[in-house]
Chain A
Amino acid sequence: MARSITHFLPLILFAILAVIAAIALVMTLSGERKISELPSALIGKPVPVTELPSLTDAQAFVKIDGTGNAPYMVNFFASWCAPCRAEAPALAILAKEIDIIGIAYKDKPEDSRKFLADFGNPYARIGIDNAGNAGLDWGVYGVPETYIISADGIVLKRHAGPIDGDNLRKIFLPFIASLKAQ
């Protein structure tokens, strides 16, 4: 009897693999699984301390560190990035709820300025990350990327890719509301 069960082992193994493949496929189809999206390693950790020259004020610096008295967002953008345009309306809405610090990633300052003039400037402060060093510190792998930071400087959330209407309504606004409620 035991022997005949061993002959079913290959079927069982195959069934397990097939179920995994089926789940993966259904999730990919339903859009729940995104092949290109990566979880951030920074979640739950303090923000990487970042100090960048300001885009708006040649003398000043934009500093991001653990100190602050309210939650804020950090958004990496660039004028050369098409999806950054797409998230401009969403950022404009978010800017009413929360401070957004922009980081112009690998972008010429004059291009960044033109971009902001065309698509609106939702940022409280803007740092220039010309060499992309801040991007490396934050683990950015492509712009736009958006981080939500708690008042005590912990990275709570990372979103890679443009914030579209869906993300805005279903992720960002509720999340920020719950942050404020605390």
Chain B
Amino acid sequence: MIRSVLFLFLLVFYLLPFQGLITAPVLAITAEEQLADPDLEYRARGLSKQLRCLVCQNQSIDDSDADLAKDLRAEVRAQILAGADDKTILTNLQERYGDYVLLKPPVSLATTLLWATPILTLILGAGLILLARRRKNVPAPPPDRPETSPDAREAKSEAQSPPPVSLPIFIGIGGICIAGAASLYWFVLGTPHLPAQPLSSRTAEISQTTGAAQKQLQARQEAYEAARENSQKQPENIGAWLSLALASAELGKTAEELAALRTALRLGKGDIAIKSMLAEALTRAADGQVIPEARQLVAETLQENPREPRALFLSGLALMDDGDYQGALDKWGYLVEISPVDAPWLSMVATNMQQAAKKAGIEATSLPALSEQTLAEAAQMSAEERTQMIEGMVEQLYQHLQGNPQDAPGWQRLARAYEVLEQPEQALEAWLRASEVGTNDLKLQIEVLERLMEAGRDEKKSVQIAEQAQAPLARARAIQKDNPEFLFFAGHFARLAGDIETAQQSWQSLLKSLPPESETARLLQAELDKLVP
């Protein structure tokens, strides 16, 4: 249902302008265009009837209301006023637009046959008639009639041979064969199971669906209002802006979505997750084209996390735009590689890869840079489907991880997905699982510690969190024990657990590695001072 609603949505936006073109009011020449002098105007009209509207289908510029036709009419009149004669005007336009602009093709080598045909066929025909008349004197052959006419023969044979099979049986067998063959075909290639569905029999279904659609729209509207209010109340809360972005996207309010994402990005100090979301929103807003700003965001995202799927997908799309199909294929290939086997975006990536492969393989094709399908799919990646995608992703990812608990990036993705779904506890659990599995990934451990720090802001949980942080801290220490970020977290969680001594130790060694005059150092010193009771 969501798909068909989206489809209707696309329809409204892509098809209607085109239909508008067909039915554009037909009013070729306007009063203002006409020349004051009726003789000159008469000439202009005559010339207009000789000139083709280049963007129309077989219309003269006199008949067409296309912009170009209007320009050409104005040009013809301007030249008439400038004193050019008819021939010069036609030649001038022919020089710019080619022979194509002339409705009466000029006599040239290329059009010899065209102009000669009427005369040639006239002469040839007359010749043939005369030739036929010369044969007139040939004596008429004797009437070529057989002794018995075929009909008579037929009648005779009917009389002679009595049918070996009786007629009813013959008809019966033939009928069964024909009906059987038709039925077989119908059962194999038709859709015999589908009943007729006249509109009158579907009132219940229709009212239900339209009701549901209305309800859904209303729900979205409400969600959007709530999100907007929330973001106004808490202008510093990233989550509020992100949910506003999501809610506006669902209602197709692209400009607001972009604004909300930009705000979130500013608040999140360049968080790559938001960056890639913004890049995607920009791409959607530009009808599937990865515009320079989006490219920049994608590049930044990938620099920080080369495995960010959304950014990977977009960078492939950008390469596709540039005609670097191999590059796009590589990017998407990598994306497929690092995605879990059941990632929901795989089918879309696969479709895109097929197109890229096709374009890379076929010479001199003239398909647009983005096929309609990609466009449609990119456009369909609205907030609606994103939520769905994430939900599906969580479900599938969870199943997948049950079977492959060693997949650290998988746990990481699951955790992020929970975050987007605003389920912090599940997210934290997934982060901890990731930390358990990815024992030698310092970046991962640091990321987990960041999340724990966030969670630990809730004072009721701080002790429990400090406990949970011990394992990741131990893993990070094992990898690089003088890592500044590790040292910071070690201190932080030690303080949270009430272990002032360890906290002081950690922070002091961190302080040593920092430039003494730096702002960070100053802040850390302040925190250190607070530690002393």
**CB of A106, distance to nearest CB on chain B (Å):** 8
* B94 close to A (CB within 8 Å): yes
Interface residues of B in 302-334 (CB under 8 A from A): 318, 320-325
Contact A165 B72 (CB under 8 A): no
* A170 close to B (CB within 8 Å): yes
* A51 close to B (CB within 8 Å): no
With contacts A41-B95, A162-B368, A165-B359 taken as known, whether A82 is within 8 angstroms of B325 at the C-beta atoms is: no
**CB of B459, distance to nearest CB on chain A (Å):** 47
* A103 close to B (CB within 8 Å): no
Interface residues of A in 59-115 (CB under 8 A from B): 82-83, 85-90, 92-93, 106
With contacts A118-B291, A170-B364 taken as known, whether A165 is within 8 angstroms of B320 at the C-beta atoms is: yes
**CB of A25, distance to nearest CB on chain B (Å):** 16
Contact B96 A139 (CB under 8 A): yes
Chain B residue nearest to A89 (CB atoms) is B321
Bound-state CA distance A142–B292 (Å) is 25
| A57 neighbours in B (Cβ, 8 Å) | none
Chain A residue nearest to B359 (CB atoms) is A166
With contacts A93-B322, A132-B71 taken as known, whether A119 is within 8 angstroms of B369 at the C-beta atoms is: no
| A168 neighbours in B (Cβ, 8 Å) | 322-323
Interface residues of A in 135-175 (CB under 8 A from B): 135-139, 141-142, 162, 164-170
Chain B residue nearest to A121 (CB atoms) is B292
| A41 neighbours in B (Cβ, 8 Å) | 94-99
Bound-state CA distance A165–B367 (Å) is 9
The stretch of B229-237, B282-290, B415-423, B510-518 in contact with A is: B282-290
With contacts A38-B100, A41-B95, A166-B366 taken as known, whether A142 is within 8 angstroms of B291 at the C-beta atoms is: no
**CB of B42, distance to nearest CB on chain A (Å):** 23
With contacts A82-B287, A119-B292, A120-B291 taken as known, whether A89 is within 8 angstroms of B322 at the C-beta atoms is: yes
Bound-state CA distance A165–B320 (Å) is 7
* A39 close to B (CB within 8 Å): yes
Which of these, A39, A48, A89, contacts B318 with CB under 8 Å?
A89
| A132 neighbours in B (Cβ, 8 Å) | 67, 71
Bound-state CA distance A42–B370 (Å) is 30
* A50 close to B (CB within 8 Å): no
Interface residues of B in 159-178 (CB under 8 A from A): none
Chain A residue nearest to B295 (CB atoms) is A89
How many B residues, CB 8 Å from partner?
37
| B72 neighbours in A (Cβ, 8 Å) | 136
Which of these, A48, A85, A139, contacts B97 with CB under 8 Å?
A139
| A85 neighbours in B (Cβ, 8 Å) | 286-287, 289, 291
With contacts A141-B55, A165-B321 taken as known, whether A89 is within 8 angstroms of B366 at the C-beta atoms is: no
* B149 close to A (CB within 8 Å): no
**CB of A79, distance to nearest CB on chain B (Å):** 13
Contact A162 B369 (CB under 8 A): yes
* A130 close to B (CB within 8 Å): no
Chain B residue nearest to A32 (CB atoms) is B364
Contact A86 B289 (CB under 8 A): yes
Bound-state CA distance A165–B321 (Å) is 6
Which of these, B100, B289, B359, contacts A88 with CB under 8 Å?
B289
Bound-state CA distance A137–B68 (Å) is 12
Q: Please, what's the 1-or-0 string for A39-63, where 1 marks a CB less than 8 Å from any CB in chain B?
A: 1111000001000000000000000
* B378 close to A (CB within 8 Å): no
* B75 close to A (CB within 8 Å): yes
**CB of A104, distance to nearest CB on chain B (Å):** 15
Bound-state CA distance A28–B91 (Å) is 31
Interface residues of A in 2-43 (CB under 8 A from B): 31-32, 34, 38-42
Chain A residue nearest to B356 (CB atoms) is A165
Chain A residue nearest to B364 (CB atoms) is A170
With contacts A41-B97, A85-B287, A89-B289 taken as known, whether A165 is within 8 angstroms of B369 at the C-beta atoms is: yes
Bound-state CA distance A141–B56 (Å) is 10
| B94 neighbours in A (Cβ, 8 Å) | 41
Give the one of A31, A32, A141 with max B CB within 10 A.
A141
Give the one of A85, A86, A167 with max B CB within 10 A.
A86
Interface residues of B in 95-115 (CB under 8 A from A): 95-100
Which of these, B97, B99, B367, contacts A141 with CB under 8 Å?
B97
| B323 neighbours in A (Cβ, 8 Å) | 90, 164-169
Give the one of B320, B321, B367 with max A CB within 10 A.
B321
- Name A residues whose Cβ lies closer than 8 Å to a Cβ of B: 31-32, 34, 38-42, 48, 82-83, 85-90, 92-93, 106, 118-120, 132, 135-139, 141-142, 162, 164-170
Extra pairs beyond A119-B286, A136-B96, A165-B369 (12, CB < 8 Å): A31-B364, A39-B98, A85-B289, A86-B369, A86-B370, A89-B369, A90-B321, A141-B97, A165-B359, A166-B359, A166-B365, A167-B366
- Name B residues whose Cβ lies closer than 8 Å to a Cβ of A: 54-55, 67-68, 71-72, 75, 94-100, 286-287, 289-293, 318, 320-325, 359, 363-370
User: Which 7 pairs across A and B sit closest by C-beta, in order of nearness?
Assistant: A165-B323, A41-B98, A164-B369, A139-B96, A89-B321, A141-B54, A120-B292
Q: List 24 A-B contacts (CB under 8 A).
A: A39-B98, A40-B98, A41-B94, A42-B96, A85-B286, A85-B291, A86-B369, A88-B289, A89-B289, A90-B323, A90-B369, A132-B71, A136-B71, A139-B97, A141-B55, A141-B68, A162-B369, A165-B322, A165-B323, A165-B324, A165-B359, A166-B365, A166-B369, A167-B366
